[in-house]
A and B are shown apart, each in its own frame.
Chain A
């Protein structure tokens, strides 16, 4: 058996026919190492959920193969269903069963008991224990998501698939959730999670950018940031809107995006950010901007993501 927990080779899945056909997953290949926390990052509609369905044996691919813990997702789907935990994007537990009953139900479905896997779920279940008699439908968003994670873990799976587990959850619960995933990894569980939040992406060991059904880049967050091809200047002035317009017209600009109060300007020239900063200062003053602040910064994952997503002739791409 290989060191990989999940291996996908040229996975493809198309929906619809003729003109209405959508290639949801298009020749995707990647590997997830044992005990790794692997992130799938991509915009809505990139094909992340379909990819999860293919990997969890809920859907048969048109072509390509996927192997989970040595089992083929099409041929050995029975074995796969015993060893994986899946948390779909939408909260999908029984709203009219209590926290305890939901857990017991999913444990029984997988031929396990809550007592048997209590140790594994304890770090998460301790948050829920005070509400164990409460109906799942009456839990807060963060609690629901913890319960869903518990239910996905209750049969001690080897691989955990989490489809946007933190969407619609408050920032504190999101942070807690990712910390919990950290403790799960200490137990040796491989985790594949998708997220639209960049600050969560950096918590993964490796991430893959998913776009239009393809994986455009797959590496550690650190390497991805290091490979960012442009020098970046974070720029701020009093009039943010006209600043963005003017920055895009700056001769050395490759492209420019808003990040909160700052505009991130990606420069054509590599390395020479200092000289560019001085030239930019002059250029902006000439355009009548006030309170100008320019700082050279390191690329964040979000910078890499923005550049990726808009590479193929995006609306705000090359100026």
Chain B
């Protein structure tokens, strides 16, 4: 009997999902928008920073340097001030982000560090430009130094979009599992249909499987559509094997669907399930190396990251797509994701109750 019930449970889920007017657009539009907008918007490249120049030198050297900075494309040099004090007012008004003060033999930088990340990047850019300029103009007088040349592997142009794509795919999988699944059972509870299911002899494992499988298929569909979009937009194709990638996606997705089912079976309402899901997903995303590299987090935070399933997936996705790592190199991530999947689904199975205490 079990198999027949499961088959009809699945049939019912598919019918409902296909009839849900937002479901199909969601599967296609969600990855499209995320992959089109996010890689460009959530970039660390700092461009068009307004600069105030206080030129005390008035020499060919200072004009040359100014031109050099302007031609880099990162800075706009339309503001000039006679003194440092007047230059500061530009920063205070929020018109400019950095002051460059040129004296006869020295260059001073003052950076608006309200946004610390931006400030340090601005500083690094400017330093680079100035060092480079100094090196060229003073070449003859300088003693020879050891030159280091960095070679960027796997992402030679330090292309931020390419770096973002695997992370976004991981995020989409998390959303499908976590949010949609969390809404699902709690929605049935709110509607009252769950009570009808509970009073029937259907086994809870059948019921949960009937929920799990549709979300898994939806997750795979979104991943494939996302990969297609990444190929069309960025010409990005996975270097590693697609089956490995889909295997990771599958296990992760099943894990997060279990997470969502767990949340919805312990929540009293859809709203409650939604809030708790958001709370965890935000932590998973922000501490998963999606936007900020885990290596730059403080030590205590890095230990927490070990407990973050999303981090393992983002890592694995990047390694498969950008680096072409094979399954043998991803065993750590594989076991981690597998453990989370087992853990979350176990939680869902023991917390989902057909009889209230």
Chain A residues in contact with chain B, CB under 8 A? 53, 56-60, 77-78, 81-82, 84, 86, 88, 90-97, 101, 104-106, 108-111, 151
B16 touches A81 (CB 8 A): no
Chain B residues in contact with chain A, CB under 8 A? 1, 4-5, 8, 12, 15-16, 19-20, 191-193, 195-202, 354-357
A78 and B198 CA atoms in complex are apart in Å by 11
User: Which residues of chain A come closer than 8 Å to B193, judged between CB atoms?
Assistant: 92-94
Closest to B21 in A: A96
A81 touching B201 in the complex, CB below 8 Å, given contacts A92-B193, A92-B196, A97-B12: yes
A241 and B132 CA atoms in complex are apart in Å by 98
B200 touches A94 (CB 8 A): no
Q: In the complex, which of the residues A91, A96, A105, A110 contacts B192, with contact meaning CB atoms closer than 8 Å?
A: A91
A16 and B326 CA atoms in complex are apart in Å by 55
A94 and B192 CA atoms in complex are apart in Å by 9
A83 and B355 CA atoms in complex are apart in Å by 17
User: Which residues of chain A come closer than 8 Å to B15, judged between CB atoms?
Assistant: 96-97, 101
A151 and B192 CA atoms in complex are apart in Å by 14
Closest to B16 in A: A96
A109 and B204 CA atoms in complex are apart in Å by 12
A109 and B16 CA atoms in complex are apart in Å by 17
Give min CB distance, B18 to chain A, whole Å.
10
Q: A81-B199, A96-B16 are in contact. List 9 more A-B contacts (CB 8 A).
A: A58-B356, A86-B195, A88-B192, A90-B192, A92-B195, A93-B193, A106-B200, A108-B5, A111-B5
Closest to A79 in B: B201
Interface of B, helix, strand, loop or mixed by DSSP: helix
Q: In the complex, which of the residues A59, A91, A92, A111 contacts B201, with contact meaning CB atoms closer than 8 Å?
A: A111
A94 touching B12 in the complex, CB below 8 Å, given contacts A58-B198, A88-B192: yes
Q: In the complex, which of the residues B19, B20, B355 contacts A59, with contact meaning CB atoms closer than 8 Å?
A: B355
A88 touches B196 (CB 8 A): yes
User: Which residues of chain A come closer than 8 Å to B8, judged between CB atoms?
Assistant: 104-105, 108-109
Closest to A95 in B: B191
B198 touches A97 (CB 8 A): no
A78 touching B201 in the complex, CB below 8 Å, given contacts A92-B195, A105-B8, A111-B5: yes
Chain B CB within 10 A, most for which of A77, A93, A94: A94
A106 and B198 CA atoms in complex are apart in Å by 12
Can you identify 26 A-B contacts, CB atoms within 8 angstroms?
A: A56-B199, A57-B199, A58-B199, A58-B354, A59-B355, A81-B200, A82-B201, A86-B196, A88-B195, A92-B193, A92-B195, A92-B196, A94-B12, A96-B15, A96-B19, A97-B16, A101-B12, A101-B15, A105-B12, A108-B4, A108-B8, A109-B197, A109-B200, A109-B201, A109-B202, A111-B5
User: Which residues of chain B come closer than 8 Å to A110, judged between CB atoms?
Assistant: 200-201
Give min CB distance, B99 to chain A, whole Å.
62
Give min CB distance, A22 to chain B, whole Å.
15
Q: In the complex, which of the residues B1, B5, B191, B199 contacts A84, with contact meaning CB atoms closer than 8 Å?
A: B199
User: Which residues of chain A come closer than 8 Å to B199, judged between CB atoms?
Assistant: 56-58, 81, 84, 86
Chain A CB within 10 A, most for which of B4, B19, B198, B201: B201
A104 and B8 CA atoms in complex are apart in Å by 9
